[in-house]
């Protein structure tokens, strides 16, 4: 059973994104220890191999690193790395959907600009 994991993405991706979110939100700080694969799998009731895949993805991205015999830790500079990567994919992941919906319901570019101003105030 998944606590708040959705059905829309591979579970290991959700795990890695969740950890990235926590890093962005300073819930997990640099050089802090990250929950182990076993702890994650027990908490989210997922296969430990899946949890491990999510963690290893972050290790490959240089977001986490392993301290032998102790566990996984947040890499220095991880937050910046995540922000850079997310900025690059922002257009694909969020904007495209927004524009499609806007087009569907007839919101123009100017409407959009006005709305953005309204919200960010």
Residues in touch with other proteins (CB under 8 A): 1-2, 5, 7-12, 37-38, 41-42, 44-50
Cα distances from 117 to residues 44, 55, 107, 114, 120, in angstroms, run 38, 38, 15, 5, 5
CB 107 to other proteins: min, Å? 19
Nearest to 11 by CA among 56, 50, 66: 50
Question: Which residue lies nearer to other proteins by CB, 70 or 119?
Answer: 70
Question: Which residue lies nearer to other proteins by CB, 5 or 107?
Answer: 5
Question: Which residue lies nearer to other proteins by CB, 53 or 81?
Answer: 53
CB 115 to other proteins: min, Å? 24
What is the dihedral sign for C-alpha 101, 105, 106, 111? Answer: negative
Question: Which residue lies nearer to other proteins by CB, 16 or 50?
Answer: 50
CB 113 to other proteins: min, Å? 27
Pair 115, 96: CB distance under 8 Å: no
Which pair of structure tokens corresponds to residue 89? Answer: 């994919």
């Amino acid at each position: 059973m998944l606590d708040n994991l959705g059905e829309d993405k591979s579970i290991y991706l959700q795990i890695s994104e969740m950890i990235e979110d926590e890093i962005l939100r300073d819930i997990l700080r640099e050089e802090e220890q990250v929950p182990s694969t076993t702890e994650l799998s027990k908490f989210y009731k997922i296969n430990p191999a899946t949890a491990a895949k999510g963690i290893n993805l972050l290790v490959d991205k240089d977001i986490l690193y392993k301290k032998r015999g102790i566990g996984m830790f947040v890499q220095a500079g991880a937050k910046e790395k995540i922000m850079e990567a997310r900025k690059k994919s922002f257009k694909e992941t969020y904007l495209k959907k927004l524009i499609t919906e806007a087009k569907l319901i007839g919101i123009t570019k100017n409407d959009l600009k006005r709305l953005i101003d309204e919200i960010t105030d």
